[in-house]
Structures are given as C-alpha cells and as structure tokens.
Structure 1
C-alpha cells in the first residue's frame, strides 16, 4: 500500500523533472564582435604580370637558313680560307662584333631583294666592312664599287657626298644588281663571279662552255684565278657562320640598340643638324654615314642611325622642332682641321667599334706603322682616340 508522504514526494519530483526536460537553460548572450576592416581576411594577392620579354630573334640561325650555296666541305679551299680568317679567334670575334650592325642591314637588304644570304657577308671579302675612300677612278665603299659601275647602279656623287660610301644606298643598289644577275645566270656561284669579273665576262664564259654542274662547288670554268678565289672566300666566311665552333669562335650576339635604321631627312639639313635632332654626337653620325665628308655637308635624303636615335629624330621632326642654323665644326680627321699639307688627313679619330686594324685598312697603312707613329705598345685603341697617320 502507498504511504501518503512518499506519494507526495514522488509527485513533486516528477513535476520538477518534467520542467527540466521542457525548458532549456537560458545562457547570457555574448556581446557582438565589432569586426574592423583591418580584421577582415586580406583578399588573395593578384600575381603581378611579368613584363613582356623582348623578342629575341635567332639572327645567326636566320642567316644560316638564308644560305643557298654549298658549305664548309664543298671544296678544300673553302675550309682552308675559313681557317685563315679565324687564325686569331679573339680578333675575328672583335672585328665581327664591331661591324655587326652593318651585317644586319646587309642581311635585311638581301632578304628584301631575294638574294642568297651569303652575299650579306661579301663586304668582309671586299673591304672588311670598312668604307674605304678610293682615289680617283678607284673602288670605294664597303662593296668596293668603281665609279663607272656606280653610275650604272644609280649611285650619285657630288661635292661632300659619294654614294659608294653610303652604306644603305650602296648595299641596296648592290642587292638589286645581284638579284638581276641571278635572273640572267640562275646560279648564285656565277653571281659571285660576276660581281668580281663583271656580268659580261661570266655570261660570255657560260655561252661558250655551258652552265657549270653543281659539283665542284667552285666551278672549273676558265675564269681568272682571282675570280675563283673570290667565290671561295665568300663560301669560307659563310662556312665560319655555319660552323663557328669548328673554328673556335663565338658569333657575337645582336644588340637591338645598335641595329641600324634608315631615316628619311626632310628638307635641306646639314649632317650636323641631323645629329642635333637625333641627339647623336656628330662624329658618330659621320662614322655611320661615311659618304658625307663633314658635319657641314648637306645630308642625303636618308641617313643610317641606331634605332633609339632614329626614333628621337622622328619625334623631333613630328613636333616641328627645327635645328639650330649654326654650322657644326668638322671632326679632327678633316683635312681642313689639320692643315692641307698633303692629299690625305694627317690624323684620324677612332670611331666607336673600330679596331686598330680597321683604322689601318681604311687609311691604307699597316698596323705596325700606326703603332710606331703613335708609340703604342699594343693594338688596343679606344673610341675618340686620335691617331697619327704619318711619322
């Protein structure tokens, strides 16, 4: 039987348990968190786009791809001459680096005229890429063009200007002529021979003896030995470009800042005024454009300049800026500055990129003579250095 007190306690406990199960305990609420901007998680960093890499062209690879004649082992004389050219690898590299902008220009001109790439190297055989100033009736320029041929090519000569010494004008005219030779002869080897011996003499030989076979690479045609050797030397310098490692040389890299462009000169301006508008030293403009005899000479309609200077000139011309009317004095190698005691300058200023060998070749003296006259203990020279050309 149930006790009344026990029954009351049980009822009270049951009521209390029911209340606990139906009502959740109330917890004190936490104050809201004030999130400041600094406390927000930082957005993911966007990767900064890398600057566009400069377009690097494989200049020497393109040069090799443009070759259209046989290579190093096509003739014993080719490899022999290639070894002669690179007998001093360091000197060869130095000389090639100095004239590389002109090689670039010649390659572009050859490509534009559809001429075999080997011919961009032809001035190495003719003049070592030095703009030799020929005496009256003699060859001149990097291509060694005689006056009669220059006239037939449309290369003018006037006071203060000889187009044979104009690197751009003469190169473009030569490439046009070589393309014409190939249209007639259909063989780049014969074109090289025609450049040396004259197209008429080569055509005459072909008419008499027929077109030479592909081999040997240097045709056994009854031509003068100097003409056959001329072709051999051209194939040899191309051989060095084909296989530089074979001759222990490294071909110099192309520097876009030194690459040359043709700039159109509007109106009548002196070379000095063109130099002023392009922010170039006048002696540098003259070194790149040796067809002009002095800073005061009237500039030709086109001038060769490095890319940066060409852009500066175009900007100056577009803005309408006019050069100062004052004449600019001629450089130290001008005969008037030295006194006309002879028919040639008594001293010369070394241009940027020139070696002692270049100076000697351009002035028809020897390196040993220059070293003796200038008391040099080595063949190293610096741009701007003045060298005596006589005892």
Structure 2
C-alpha cells in the first residue's frame, strides 16, 4: 500500500509541471537502501539427552538356600580362591580331612554365615571376611578362650569397648551375633581402607592395625604371602590366620577338589533382630511369652549372661525372621532374676562344700569345657574349699 501511494503523487506533480518552467534538475537523491531481509534465526541446538536416572541398587534379599549363599560369597572373593601356597595347602588338608564333617559344620552355621554375608555386601567388603568367624570360633556366639577373647569374632574386652560394644557382668555384646558382626565389619572396613588389601586387613584384625602399619611402612615393597611370612615381623599365628581364610575360600569355591559336598540345597532360616521393651526378665520367660523354643533362643542370645535380661542389659534380641512379628507391641514378661554378676573379668565362684565343676557350670549356664579352659583345669581336677573359679573368659 505505501508504494502505490508514492507513485500517485509523482503523476500529479508531472502534470502540473508542464504549465511552468522547470527548475534546474536536482542532484538525484541517493538511493535509500532497502532493509536487508532478516536472516533466519539459527535452529536451536537439540536439547541434551536427559541421563537415565541412577537408582540405588536395592540390597539383595537374604539367601534362603545354601546355593545362594555360596554363589554370592564366592562372587565377592577379592582373590582367586585357590592359590599355590604350601601353608594354605596344609590348612586345606586339615579342614578337608573329613569332608562329611566339614559339610555338616558349614550347614549348622548357614544362618549366621548368611547374616555375615549381608554385612559384607552392605559394606562392600571382600567375601573372604565372611570366613573369618570360621577361623575364629566356627561361628559360635558363646565361644570363649583362655586369653579372654569372646564370641563369633573373638574380640578382647578393650577392642570391643573401643568398637562400641558393651562388656559388662550382665550383658556382653561380644556374644550378640548381629551387634558383634556389625562392629567387626565396621572395623574391617577401616582396616581395608587403610591397607587396600584384604590380607593386610586380616593381619591388622589379628595382630593390631598399629603393628601392621609399622611393618608395612618399613617394608613397603614386600608382597603379602602367608607361606613366605611377608611382610616380615609378625607372629606365625597371624600368617596362619590368613592361610586359614585362603584355605577355606578354596574349599567353598571348589569343594569337588576335596570330595566335599556342600549343603547347596539346605534351607537357610534368615535371622532378624528385635528390640525388647525396657525392664527386666529372662530369656526363658520371653520365649514362653512369644511361644518360642527357649533352648534355641538362648543359643542365639548368649550375650544375656545366665539367660537374664537385666534392666541395664542391651535390648537387641536375635530371633528367626519369621518370628519377628511376635515382638510387635511385645510386653516384657516379669520374671524373678538373680542378683547381677560383677563386671566381666571379675566374675567368679568361691568353691563350697559339695561343689563340682559340672554343678558350677550348670548353675551359671556356661559350658563345662569353657569353665575348664578359663581356669586351666582338667576334667579330673579336684576342687578345694575356698578356691576361686572364673566364670568368664
């Protein structure tokens, strides 16, 4: 429309100009450049692809059969499970001396091994650490020793307290399977981070982290070998400790080489912890109130000394996972409880007329073999009136 209007004005002007003298021509006005066409906007860059969301991997379900446990365990081994090492091979022969017995021992501790495997998976630690309680105690929660080490992991009292485990006369968390196992894996995780090698971490667990650190710093290029006792300077017991774990790893990964038939089809009853309400009771009364086997409950919970749950004792109780719901809104049953024992390390019984070692062991609910070991006695030892008998490691 604008261009048509300009042309009409010019035509009228030319008609009028014919009747008068034309003025001198003007210099032509410079052409006004027409605006350049707007450049097309650059096409927007395609949006960056949205990365796929990263989800935390769910923790695997507890193994319910031996095969699940063994397969997941061997998948976590940091080293090839069978090594050419004379010390390791010697321990392979010792453990596999009776293949049937070895398989039966493994089957008996499958629930506790499964619990330890779950901790190894949760802390992302090598599977070899799951075999440590076999070396230490064959997964016996109530295991003791003449040196004062107790439980699945054979913690001494100072180490246990340093890891946050209660060690008292009425309650010894070293014998609480889950609490002790969690503390052990936290400790092993620190050692593994410090040394970067599960075998050195194992040595630190056995001999102490400070001692192993000094030796590693002194011999930084030494290869870690149980048979060659490298790095040098540790106790023979420490090197054998590593060799035993390596031997067990080979037996678990390749049982057919030793004529062992692992219980792959054996069912595993998962374990769970429940929290008891405040108050005092006994394991026998709790088992009766929850309709559980009192012997099995006591076997899983030896941390409660003499089966007594004092008001000051820990509240964690280990039960089969299928029975955990029985403790929802659980009311702690009242029960007569004996006087509490003194702190662990001073517990003792003074021999009176008529006492026997067997009667003392039954009265305090300790194993006779442990009582003999703690006191350096034999089965034929004669008690003296006034003799002090230790009741704890």
Q: Give the TM-score normalised by structure 1.
A: 0.67
**Cα distance change, pair 255–209 in 1 and its aligned pair in 2 (3 A):** same
In the alignment, is residue 288 of structure 1 matched against residue 300 of structure 2?
yes
Alignment partner for residue 125 of structure 2, among 106, 115, 118? 115
- 1:193 Cα offset (Å): 0.7
Deviations 1:31-80 (A, max 9, x none): xxxxxxxxxxxxxxxxxxxxxxx976721100100111232224222222
State the match for 1:64 in structure 2. Answer: 74
Higher normalized helix content (fraction of residues)? 1
Contact 1:123 1:143 in 2 (8 A): yes
State the match for 1:322 in structure 2. Answer: 331
In the alignment, is residue 303 of structure 1 matched against residue 313 of structure 2?
no
State the match for 1:185 in structure 2. Answer: 195
Following the alignment from structure 1 to structure 2, what is the Cα–Cα distance between the partners of residues 345 and 242? 44
**Cα distance change, pair 200–211 in 1 and its aligned pair in 2 (3 A):** farther
Alignment partner for residue 229 of structure 1, among 231, 240, 245? 240
- 1:128 Cα offset (Å): 2.0
**Cα distance change, pair 185–329 in 1 and its aligned pair in 2 (3 A):** same
Q: SS of 1:73's equivalent?
A: coil
Contact 1:257 1:306 in 2 (8 A): no
- 1:257 Cα offset (Å): 5.9
State the match for 1:167 in structure 2. Answer: 177
Contact 1:257 1:308 in 2 (8 A): no
Following the alignment from structure 2 to structure 1, what is the Cα–Cα distance between the partners of residues 70 and 309? 36
Contact 2:76 2:126 in 1 (8 A): yes
**Cα distance change, pair 215–154 in 1 and its aligned pair in 2 (3 A):** closer
* RMSD of aligned Cα (Å): 3.4
State the match for 1:266 in structure 2. Answer: 277
Alignment partner for residue 206 of structure 1, among 216, 225, 229? 216
Q: SS of 2:240's equivalent?
A: helix
Following the alignment from structure 1 to structure 2, what is the Cα–Cα distance between the partners of residues 132 and 305? 19
Alignment partner for residue 327 of structure 2, among 296, 301, 313? 313
Following the alignment from structure 1 to structure 2, what is the Cα–Cα distance between the partners of residues 108 and 218? 33
**Cα distance change, pair 271–247 in 1 and its aligned pair in 2 (3 A):** farther
- 1:360 Cα offset (Å): 7.9
**Cα distance change, pair 362–98 in 1 and its aligned pair in 2 (3 A):** farther
**Cα distance change, pair 362–85 in 1 and its aligned pair in 2 (3 A):** farther
State the match for 1:5 in structure 2. Answer: none
State the match for 2:58 in structure 1. Answer: none
State the match for 1:248 in structure 2. Answer: 259
Contact 2:281 2:333 in 1 (8 A): no
**Cα distance change, pair 284–55 in 1 and its aligned pair in 2 (3 A):** closer
Following the alignment from structure 2 to structure 1, what is the Cα–Cα distance between the partners of residues 318 and 237? 33
Alignment partner for residue 104 of structure 1, among 102, 111, 114? 114
Following the alignment from structure 2 to structure 1, what is the Cα–Cα distance between the partners of residues 239 and 224? 15
Following the alignment from structure 1 to structure 2, what is the Cα–Cα distance between the partners of residues 97 and 243? 16
Give the structure, 1 or 2, with the largest relative contact order (CA under 8 Å, sep 6 or more).
Answer: 2
Following the alignment from structure 2 to structure 1, what is the Cα–Cα distance between the partners of residues 264 and 369? 25
**Cα distance change, pair 140–284 in 1 and its aligned pair in 2 (3 A):** same
Q: Give the TM-score normalised by structure 2.
A: 0.66
State the match for 2:41 in structure 1. Answer: none
Alignment partner for residue 73 of structure 1, among 64, 83, 108? 83
State the match for 2:205 in structure 1. Answer: 195
Following the alignment from structure 1 to structure 2, what is the Cα–Cα distance between the partners of residues 58 and 229? 29
Q: SS of 1:161's equivalent?
A: coil
State the match for 2:153 in structure 1. Answer: 143
Contact 2:223 2:231 in 1 (8 A): no
Following the alignment from structure 1 to structure 2, what is the Cα–Cα distance between the partners of residues 361 and 71? 34
**Cα distance change, pair 178–166 in 1 and its aligned pair in 2 (3 A):** same
**Cα distance change, pair 342–153 in 1 and its aligned pair in 2 (3 A):** farther
- 1:266 Cα offset (Å): 2.8
Q: How many residues align?
A: 297
